[in-house]
Structure formats: C-alpha cells, structure tokens
Amino acid sequence: AQSVTQLGSHVSVSEGALVLLRCNYSSSVPPYLFWYVQYPNQGLQLLLKYTSAATLVKGINGFEAEFKKSETSFHLTKPSAHMSDAAEYFCAVSEGFSGGYQKVTFGTGTKLQVIP
C-alpha cells in the first residue's frame, strides 16, 4: 500500500534561510508525488507534482522538490524563506495516476514557522 511519511510536524526557519521539508514515500509501483500548501482555514493549493518526467521539479513561489528513487524521498526546498511561506505543507503520493485524486494518500503535514 502507498504511504508517505513527513519527518517533523513543525519546522522553524529564519526569514531568508533555507527551507527543507522532508518527505519519504512508500509505493509498490513508480509513484506520482505531490506537495500541497495549506494556509490557516483555507483549502489546499498544489505547489508542485512529480509525474515521472524530470526528477527535479520546480513549483510555484520558488519551491522545488527532487525525486530520489534510491532514497524513496521527495523533499521540498526553497533557498530563502519568506514570511508569507508560513503555512502547513502536505506531501502526497499516488501509485500511478490513472485513477484520479481518490487514489492520492496525504501525509500528516509539516507546519512551517518563519521567524523574522
């Protein structure tokens, strides 16, 4: 069965510092991987997704993620944190993507705090 593990439920970084949010996945077939952001009392917004093309995926707001099959990881990074990046981030996995979003499994989330 597919699953994702997000390491660290809370991450704090200083404004301007590197953001690194960790995600490890488990999948029996080549996965599709996603990162979503959720601001307080809001829905989820897609940051980026990996669909078996380039292993380095660039997303919105300066975020990117690298798919590493050997490490079963899909960590999210941003070179320089901005105050507006404070939010909760969810990693998600789907075994293939022929089935639609009902087949996507979300992680438990990482809350990012940006310190001025």
| Minimum distance of other proteins from residue 101's CB (angstroms) | 5
Q: How many CA atoms lie within 13 A of 112 on its CB side?
A: 29
- CA 56 to chain centroid: 13
Residues that bind other proteins (CB under 8 A): 9, 41-46, 49, 51, 90, 92, 97-102, 104, 106-109
Q: Which is nearer to other proteins, 17 or 96 (CB)?
A: 96
| Minimum distance of other proteins from residue 19's CB (angstroms) | 19
Q: Which is nearer to other proteins, 84 or 98 (CB)?
A: 98
Residue 9's contacts (CB-CB under 8 Å, 6 or more residues apart) are 108, 109, 110, 111
For the chain, the residue count is 116
Q: Which is nearer to other proteins, 72 or 105 (CB)?
A: 105
**In the structure encoding, which two tokens stand for residue 80, read together?**
């320089």
